[in-house]
Amino acid sequence: MAAPSLLLITDRLNSALPLDKTILEALEAGCRWIMVREKDLATAEIRPLLDSISELAADFGATVTVNNDFTAASLCKLPGVHLPQGLPVATIRRVMGAQNLIGVSAHSVVEAQTAIADGANYVTMSPIFPTESKPGYGPALELEGLKAVTQSVSAPVLALGGITPENAADCIRAGAAGVAVMGGVMRSRTPGAVIRDLIAALSSAA
């Protein structure tokens, strides 16, 4: 995992532009990791989307992973999957193979520690800041909460929730290995500009 990493999470239902255009602009701006998170799509429905995004990403040497659907990840030969809290990481690791990247969503120190002990390569920690994209997960952790997590685990932690070019560098200084973004890019009509600003912020803190 490159440090600091920038992970773009898709949300086609809230994308201001057609999803393929948003992703292409993000790739052209320098994003090299896309997670496809389309929770309303069954495996058979998401596979064509994964294939088309993988084709776009291949031209840039970018990595494509998928949220939750480890069956689709295997069928589409993706290098990784991101799991919600509570799924058996060790079991899925045995099915997918040791070489695959497995991430887990965490919302507390205990959840992060549990996921990593179970074999996750990284965790996303959220919500760091207030955000419309992560309702129902309790109050924002803020930078102190993020720092508490990064100091308690040895694997990379990606900050998620309310991440902007203005606060991304602060997340890295709090110990995060990178940031993950969704709504701020998906809802933008100039997603490439947002990605460039995020990359510049991350580079300033590296």
Q: Please report the domains of the chain, with CATH numbers, ordered by start residue.
A: 5-205 (3.20.20.70)
Q: Is the pLDDT of residue 62 over 60?
A: yes
| Measured distance CA(171)–CA(128) in Å, rounded | 9
Q: How confident is the model at residue 134 (pLDDT cuts 50, 70, 90)?
A: low
Check pLDDT > 60 for residue 10: yes
In the prediction, which pLDDT does 136 show? Answer: 60
Read off the pLDDT of each residue in 136-153 and give the average, rounded to a whole number: 91
Under the banding of pLDDT at 50, 70 and 90, the label for residue 133 is low
Mean pLDDT, residues 119-133 taken together: 91
Q: Region 159-173: what's the mean pLDDT?
A: 97
Interatomic CA distance for residues 130 and 161, integer angstroms: 7
Residues β-bridged to residue 159? 125, 179
CA distance 12 to 186: 8
Across the strands, what pairs with 6? 179
